[in-house]
Structure 1
Amino acid sequence: MQAFTPLEAGDPVRVGPYRIVGRLGSGGMGRVYLARSPGGRATAVKVVHDELAEDPSFRTRFGREVAAARRVTGPFTAPVVDADPGADVPWLATAHVPGLSLGAAVATHGVWPELSVRALGSGLAEALEAIHRAHVVHRDLKPSNVLLAADGPRVIDFGISVAADDTKLTTTGAVVGSPGYLPPEQLVGREVGPAGDVFALGALLAYAAAGTGAFGGGLAYGVNYRVVHEEPDLDGLPDGLADVVARCLAKDPRQRPTVRELIEELGRWEGADGTQGTFTAGTWLPAPVAADVTALRAAPLPEKPPTTAADADLPTVPVGAAPTAVATARLGAPPAGPSFTARLRGVPRQRRTAVLAAAGTLVVLTVVAGLLLPRAFSGSADRGDGMGSNGSPTPAAKQLTVREQWSFDEDFWQPVAAHGKVVGEGQDRALHAVDAGSGDAEWTYDDPGASSFEGVSEGLVVASSRENGTIQGIDLDSGKRVWSVAAKAHTAPGTTFHLYTRVVVADGTVYVNAMYDLPEGSERFGTYAVSALDAATGRLKWTRPIEYILSDALAVVDGVVYGGVQEKGGTYFHAWDADTGKQLWRYHASASRRYGGEVTAIAVSDGTVYFGDDRSVLHAVDARRGTKQWTYEPEADGVEEWLEPLVVSDGVVYGGTGDTTSDYGPGAVHAVAADSGRPLWSEHTEREPELHGLLDGSLLFSTKAGTLHTADARSGVSPAEARLSSGDPDATFDGDRVYFDGGDGRLHAGRISLTGG
């Protein structure tokens, strides 16, 4: 057994004085490698992500936090042994712990007995005491940051998350961390102290004892809401353990026990051999976990990295003549903007290493039949028998060409092309508009009260602010404010505005999903509403209170507003009149279940509304009557959510799915018959896909790996792909133009064509 994996193309062979020999994992701040020190000692080296390395303020915070973390000493921590915050790519090294993470142990071997959980808690409490004694707050204690060794648990990444968290908060306006382990005070923007780590410790103990989070699973938004507003579910815990966990999970930080109190309370555990508080593999770990830990400790450290495949970076492509024929893309409308769920998960703004030429240089990105880049689809390679992965004929090889037209000195978060302009939120948090044909700057709207770009409709740019609750209308031509409406315009009496979960601009109206807090002492913790504002004036047209949890997905088509609500009886899909807010019908999408069931993607076509949820189910419902037509659930290793947008064309529903807990895991693209729900094809992707529409008989989509793909609309076989960026390209399409973040901090415009075949 080994805890590391071989190095991959592009991984470093040396970081500072450390020789890299394997991969240990990755996280929100960087990638972790197994390394040998100059003296041969096993070391874990973390190299930070490029987008953080390019932020001067991050480097300052990183250096400060590393200095603080070096002061931490204790038997249950993995100490920082070396670091270089000033390197081209900052890094730090810690002592290597050859053990399982708590998350891997529970996922593989199941829940822990009370004895082991109490032992785990006492060791973690002692680790936190050492961390807090050095005036450091961890702020990201979670199962993957707890390693299990024979002589006790080890806490890693203490203090380092603060630097990354502050940077991401600055660039995204979202709370960054692991849902279910972040304390309520962190989620609502208050100061986080040592008591926040106690909350996370309580959540870890609940996870080890029950195998699930104390606040359920599903989308981050729903979990975080329950952390702030609902009590934890501790039904599966023994009484004595449930009591201490409940105190750790108190909403008020002042009511939680101190780590010293926890050490005294949990440290009285007795091992299987009758000894008290003695950490050996046989005394505190569950037997199957102890066996794995022992095997990992015995595994030899490699002397040198295993042989890896050649680097698959994009080769230099010479400048070529413009194609003689450019296909016209039949592309669906771009989504109304990134979902609040994605923002709350903390998807970082990408400032990546450049993969395109600098402004003014004409570059053609050409990939023929996937020969130059690895395929995104696991089953899309030609098998040599002329058949695709699903047994259908393989389409002839096509050439996907993206010819750059211009670039602009600011990348945009989910740009929108409308009326000859490209509008988006820049990495500087201001709203920008550039000429779609030339890339020349048109205007910048830098009011800090408009922090989130929502969309464009009928010559109006709409932005919202989660900080003060305003919705603003901005003239598309001039960039001047037309109106601004405060949340009090649609806040119900007796409630306090909390946040916008979704804003959609359609048909001259701004439709808003919002959450509101209720007064202290209320039987319920919060409520929701759907509201409609006149896009020309900002005047409130109507508001409809929602008693239960309102899904963030929202669609407005043909005078009807569609959305999902998680109620006591399960998840219901609603249709409201777009002019009045009156309910037209209500469809029971899933049976009663405490957690999950969130509606995540909606599309309407030819009298049918299609929507996907976070339980892997795609639904088709009659748009007039709200009656069921069919449901489809793809085969998957686990529960997945349907991603925005869904694309409906020529009698087929195309949709992407991805992991419910991560935006950067693998995904899949599916094609389903629109009239029956019969599966036509499914293909796996290296990262979560975002669909963009159809081009010359092919489905066009991009992934967070930075690659633009086509998939044959009939078979799903992927005949062509092209690299746009080193990360999420944030691509949007308008005819045969694509606008995207090229990974170099710039917005790029390219003309696309798919030829041959």
Structure 2
Amino acid sequence: MQAYVPLQTGDPERVGPYRIVARLGSGGMGRVYLAGSPGGRAAAVKVVHEELAEDPAFRRRFGREVAAAQRVAGPFTAPVVDADPDADLPWLATAYVPGVALGTAVAAHGVWPERSVRALGSGLAEALDAIHRADVVHRDLKPSNVLLAPDGPRVIDFGISVAADDTKLTTTGAVVGSPGYLPPEQLVGREVGPPGDVFALGALLAYAATGTGPFGGGPAHGVNYRVVHEDPDLERVPDGLAEVVARCLAKDPRQRPEVPELVGELGRWEAADGTRVTFAAGTWLPAPVAADVAALGAEPLPVPQAQATAAAPVDADLPTVTVGPAPTAVATARLGAPPAARPRGATRRRTAVLAAAGAFVALAVVGGLLLPRAFSDSAGRGDGAEGSGSPTAAAKQPTVRELWPSDMGLRHVEVARGKLVGEDDDGRLHALTAADGDTAWTYDRPGSLSFEGVSDGLAVVSSDEEGTIQGIDVDSGKRVWIVDAQTHTPPGADFDLYMGVVVADGTVYTSAMHDLSEESELPVSYSVSAVDAATGRLKWIHRIDQILSNALAVVDGVVYGGVREPDDTYFYAWDAETGDRLWRYSSRTSRPYPGELSAVEVSDGTVYFGDDRGVLHAVDARRGTRRWIYDADTESVRQWLDPLVVADGVVYGGLGGVTSDSETGAVHAVDASSGKPLWSEHTERDPELHGLLDGSVLFSTKAGALHAADARTGATAKTRLSSGDPDAALDGDRIYFHGGDGRLHAGGVSLTER
């Protein structure tokens, strides 16, 4: 298996005494290389970005971090073996660990058994104990910073760890770390100490046990919102682990367990026969992961060499795809959706594929890409209540013919102007040429960026750390404008994070969360605002002291959003130019609790709101009055996922996310004029709708499948795209997806009669 990235033009041949062999990854602080010492010892060498090296304050902080990291010594950490904070480009070297990143292992082989999760937890707790005894707080414990070796896990990357008595990060207001693993106290600007690492440990254990983080995925602002305000989803965590994980994820850091306590509690793990299991010969790992780790450990160091991948020939006869909805132009951004011209999923999944900052990664995928074989030849059938699909209807079989792969493992890809724009796992923005997958440009600057989507020829990115929104020209990769959060932060508040970002007609619309002073009755407030992108002038702003809900959309001069108030959840419509409120709609139904807004679509004078209680609302776009509601699931809590697709008088939508049976999802078809259900089809978790092709609704799921459901009956057939979450995007007759092998793939889609 290939477990490195070849060197590129501009990479150094040597750093200090180390000979550079290959790339391992990069992050907001620097680039990481696989290297060899003069004596032949392998090392992971991190070289900081040139922009940071020019900052004297950063150099001082980097020197302190190196000194702090060198104090850490423990069996489950990767020690710092060398460093030069005073070099032209400061660097540090850590021991090379030939291990697979936890994120890569879970993406390739799925969830872990409880025994392995407990073993992982006990090793990580012991590593944190060693880190904390050195007066260091890691601050960025996440799946790509945990390497799996035969004799136990290794915690790596102290690149943003700081000594516990260093208060710089907490005094600048910057939020540094990875969404879903940052503790709530850090997100609201409170003091962060060892309990923050305990929170991250709990999130890691939930991830290993379920395959997803306990607060879902998607853009940073959406995940951070759920961390602060919502309970973790631990439905699929084994009963024997759920209690300790829940304590680690307590909102109040004082209620989390101490690390030494966790070492003992998680260390009580046994085999099925009752014997004690030890960290030996990889027996603590799931068998497929242990095999990958063993294979990686047997590989020699690579020799620098260029690589090229030939693209497969393009099939010119593939059918075209019509993507709904109706002609109305819609710009949207939600907790989990970018403001793109093309609809995208409401839960944008981030899966670690490449380990960053000192990690050596194996692209551990068994069997490679499975194209175009269908892994299920049986057609499904709609099985909802009234109007369910016909059991005798034949589904068309989808096939995908590979056109090209790219080693650039991008996620959340948008298609615009002949380019694919997406982000890597280190928060950098890239554009590839859609025809052949060649790199067109990279927008690489320090700090983590969240890609919000493409609008009006601009790739829009936000940064909670910097408090900025930027518009990047899709053709050139050059920044066109930047908007600072202080422009749209209410008086008496400090900007915390973006929840939604929409760019439409030269205006930046945001929903955001803000910190208030400790003297305030409320810890946080929210806002919805509009800023002129070219001048930075604030057009209007509404401060909201209730909880802002999960979606923001701008359609035909109207801004739509949701607010959870004490008595109800309301969907609002504001004039996009003036900010005046046009109407307020109550989402209350017969359910005991009103749902929060999770998906929005507009077609033919009707606004379709999906909520996280399984209810779809059809509302008159001009008056804000209810036309009908459709309750998709009365037995469990389900969330309507973005996008909803409206075509030929039918509303198609996926359900998933927050479920009592979180292994499954569903796709529903509802009559757009009456709300009458036409059919429903059970699927794997979190179906993401892509559009209509040849009379079928195309959607993909986190299980790696591409489905084609007959638009009239719901009869379904599927084929495999990926070994993990494909995070797919459809454009015309092509689909772009993550293959679970660390690469982005392009394929041509066709449907055949069965």
Question: Do they fold alike, i.e. is TM over 0.5?
Answer: yes
1:267-278 correspondence runs (5 A)? none
Say if 1:698 and 1:713, in contact at 8 Å, map to a contact too: yes
| Bigger radius of gyration among the two | 1
Match of 2:323 among 331, 337, 360: 331
Change (3 A) 1:594 1:425: farther
How big is each residue's C-alpha offset from its partner over 1:95-135, in whole Å with a ceiling of 9 and x where there is no partner?
Answer: x999999xxxxxxxxxxxxxxxxxxxxxxx9xx99998899
Q: How does 1:162-173 map to 2 (within 5 A)?
A: none
In the TM superposition, residue 630 of structure 1 has moved relative to its aligned partner by 1.5
User: How high is the TM-score relative to the length of structure 2?
Assistant: 0.61
1:374 counterpart residue number: 376
Paired residue type of 1:702: S
Secondary structure (helix, strand or coil) at the match of 1:611 reads strand
1:612-653 superposed Cα distances (whole Å, 9 cap, x missing partner):
111121111111111111212223652121111111111111
Mean alpha-carbon deviation: is it higher for 459-468 or for 405-414?
A: 405-414
1:564-579 equivalences under 5 Å are 564-579=562-577
1:519-598 equivalences under 5 Å are 519-590=517-588, 597-598=595-596
The one-letter amino acid paired with 1:373 is F
Q: Secondary structure at the match of 2:587?
A: strand
In structure 2, the partner of 1:484 is 482
2:632 is matched with 634
Q: Report the residue type matching 2:713 in the other structure.
A: S
Structure 1 segment 363-442 matched on structure 2, within 5 A? 365-367=371-373, 372-374=374-376, 379-380=380-381, 390-395=389-394, 398-442=396-440
Q: Which amino acid aligns with 2:720?
A: R
Matches of 2:443 and 2:460, distance apart in 1 = 11
**1:681-716 CA distance string (max 9 Å, x none):** 111112211111111100011111222111111111
**Partner in structure 2 of residue 749 of structure 1:** 746
Separation of aligned partners in 2, 1:661 and 1:448: 37
Residue 192, structure 1, aligned to residue 193, structure 2: yes
Contact 2:405 2:744 in 1 (8 A): yes
Residues 332/389 of structure 1: CA separation in 2 closer, same or farther (3 Å cut): closer
Q: Note closer, same or farther for the CA distance 1:534–1:137 as it changes in structure 2 (3 Å cut).
A: closer
Whole-angstrom CA distance in 1 between matches of 2:191 and 2:457: 38
Q: Is the 8 A contact 1:599 1:614 kept in 2?
A: yes
Pick the aligned partner of 2:350 from 337, 347, 352.
347
Question: Quick one: structure 1 residues 702 and 346, their matched pair in 2 at CA, closer, same or farther if it must change by over 3 Å?
Answer: closer
Separation in structure 1 between the aligned mates of residue 520 and residue 503 of structure 2, nearest angstrom: 33
CA 1:167 to 1:522, structure 2 compared with 1: closer, same or farther past 3 Å? closer
What amino acid sits opposite 2:351 in the alignment?
Answer: P
Amino acid at match of 2:322: R
Name the SS of the counterpart of 2:486 in structure 1. Answer: helix
Deviation for aligned residue 1:529: 1.3
Residue equivalent to 1:733? 730
User: Structure 1 residues 554 and 417 mapped into 2: Cα distance closer, same or farther (>3 Å)?
Assistant: same
Residue 29 of structure 1: aligned partner: none
Identity of aligned residues (%): 50
| Deviation at residue 522 of structure 1 after TM alignment | 0.8
Match of 1:271 in 2: none
SS of residue in 2 equivalent to 1:439: coil
Corresponding residue number in structure 2 for 1:695? 693
**Which residue of structure 1 lines up, in the alignment, with residue 239 of structure 2?**
none
In 1: Cα distance, 2:228 partner to 2:408 partner = 33
Alignment match, 1:660: 658
SS at 1:489 equivalent = helix
Q: Distance in 1 between matches of 2:100 and 2:259?
A: 41
Indicate if the aligned counterparts of 2:333 and 2:552 stay in contact, CA closer than 8 A: no
* C-alpha distance in structure 2 between counterparts of 1:725 and 1:474, whole Å: 30
- Cα deviations by residue, 1:564-593 (Å, 9 ceiling, x for unpaired): 111122100011111211111000112799
Q: Confirm or deny: 8 A CA contact 1:697 1:713 kept in the other structure.
A: yes
Q: CA deviation at 1:167?
A: 11
C-alpha separation between the residues in 1 aligned to 2:602 and 2:450?
Answer: 26
Q: Matched residue of 1:184: which SS?
A: helix
Write out per-residue CA displacement over residues 351-374 of structure 1, whole angstroms, 9 at most, x where no aligned residue: 5546898xxxxx99334xxxx403
Return 5+ residue gaps in structure 1 as ranges. Answer: 1-49, 72-83, 102-124, 142-158, 202-212, 214-218, 229-244, 264-278, 280-292, 302-318, 358-362, 383-387
Residues 439/345 of structure 1: CA separation in 2 closer, same or farther (3 Å cut): closer
The answer to whether the 8 Å contact 2:333/2:553 transfers is: no
Question: Could you tell me how far apart the structure 2 residues matched to 1:350 and 1:322 are?
Answer: 27
2:621 to 598, 620, 623: 623
C-alpha distance 400-173 of structure 1, shift in aligned 2 (>3 A): farther
Change (3 A) 1:192 1:610: same
| Alignment size in residue pairs | 566
**CA separation of 1:490/1:664 partners in 2, compared to 1, >3 Å: closer, same or farther?**
same
What CA deviation, in whole Å up to 9, does each residue of 1:272-296 have, x standing for no partner?
xxxxxxx9xxxxxxxxxxxxx9xx9
Quote the Cα distance in structure 2 between the aligned partners of 1:257 and 1:428.
29
Q: 1:241-283 CA deviation, whole Å, 9 max, x = no partner?
A: xxxx99x9795x6x779969999xxxxxxxxxxxxxxx9xxxx
For 1:261 and 1:410, how far apart are their aligned partners in 2?
A: 41
The letter of the residue matching 1:600 is: S
Encode CA deviations 1:164-208: one digit per residue, 9 max, x unaligned: 99999xxx97645589xx55247758533158759999xxxxxxx
Seen in structure 2, the aligned counterparts of structure 1 residues 673 and 166 have a Cα distance that, compared at 3 Å, is: farther
Partner of 1:448: 446
Correspondence for 2:228: 225
Indicate conservation of the 8 Å contact 2:698/2:708, yes or no.
yes
Matched, 1:497 2:503: no
Match of 1:184, as an amino acid?
Answer: E
Q: CA deviation at 1:506?
A: 2.7
Q: Where do 1:673-712 residues align within 5 Å? A: 673-712=671-710
1:510 aligns with 2:512: no
CA–CA distance in structure 1, aligned partners of residues 349 and 185 of structure 2: 16
Could you tell me which amino acid in structure 2 is paired with residue 374 of structure 1? S
- AA in 2 matched with 1:747: L
Equivalence for 1:153: none
1:648 alignment partner in structure 2? 646
Q: TM-score, normalised by structure 1?
A: 0.61
- Measured in 1, the distance between the counterparts of 2:476 and 2:159 equals 34
User: Partners of 1:537 and 1:297 in 2: how far apart?
Assistant: 69
Task: Report the counterpart of residue 76 of structure 1 in structure 2.
Answer: none
8 Å Cα contact 2:481/2:533 also seen in 1: no
| 2:713 corresponds to | 715
Give the letter aligned to residue 493 of structure 1.
Answer: P
Q: What is the alpha-carbon distance in structure 2 between the residues aligned to residue 649 and residue 623 of structure 1?
A: 18
Give the 3 Å change call, closer, same or farther, for CA 623–713 of structure 1 in structure 2. Answer: same
Equivalent-residue separation in structure 2 for 1:420 and 1:451 (angstroms): 23
List runs of 5+ in structure 2 lacking aligned partners. 1-23, 27-31, 35-42, 46-68, 78-95, 107-112, 119-124, 142-151, 162-174, 203-213, 215-221, 232-245, 278-310, 338-344, 355-362
Determine the C-alpha separation between the residues in 2 that align with 1:580 and 1:496. Answer: 24
Cα deviation 1:416-450 (Å, max 9, x = unaligned): 11122221223343212222223333222112357
1:526 to 1:338, Cα distance in 2 relative to 1, 3 A: closer
Tell me the residue number matched to 1:86.
Answer: 98
Letter in 2 for 1:729: P
Q: Conserved in 2, the CA contact under 8 Å of 1:729 and 1:741? A: yes
